[in-house]
Amino acid sequence: MPTLRLRHELSSEQLKEMQRYLDEMPIECILAGLRFSYKRWLAEKHGMLIVGRRSKVKQEVEMLTLEQARWRLENWSKMIRVYREKGYSYPTIHRIKRALMHIAST
């Protein structure tokens, strides 16, 4: 059976917690979580992730008036192009649209 080497010292509580995860969770879930954590840690380490900043959705819709929200929804194909140029993903664009629809419905 292979052994797992760690560079860091663990407290007994941390070791018990890690052992519980390794015993109870499928290895695919553990590896997926580690991949996510590693990528997030790298992004934070290299300054690409600023933890605690306002979300992109809030930045886009927070200060809009009712008329502005309606205009953006009426010209949605143009807005998608603008958001893609800003580097937003399609799920983020969809969240912006939902927020705009909420503003327009009030």
Task: Report how far residue 71's alpha carbon sits from residue 22's, in angstroms, rounded to the nearest whole number.
Answer: 52
pLDDT > 70: percent of the chain: 94
Give how far the C-alpha of residue 27 lies from the chain's centroid of Cα atoms, to the nearest Å.
23
Cut 0.75: pTM above it = no
Q: How far is CA 70 from CA 42, 55, 61, 94, in A?
A: 39, 21, 12, 15
Task: Report how far residue 76's alpha carbon sits from residue 62's, in angstroms, rounded to the nearest whole number.
Answer: 18
Instruction: Assign residue 87 a region (left: φ > 0; alpha: ψ between -120 and 50; beta: otherwise).
Output: left
Task: Report how far residue 76's alpha carbon sits from residue 106's, in angstroms, rounded to the nearest whole number.
Answer: 19
pLDDT of residue 6: 87
- How do residues 13-56 score in pLDDT, each as one tens digit? 999 999 999 999 999 999 999 999 999 888 888 877 766 556 78
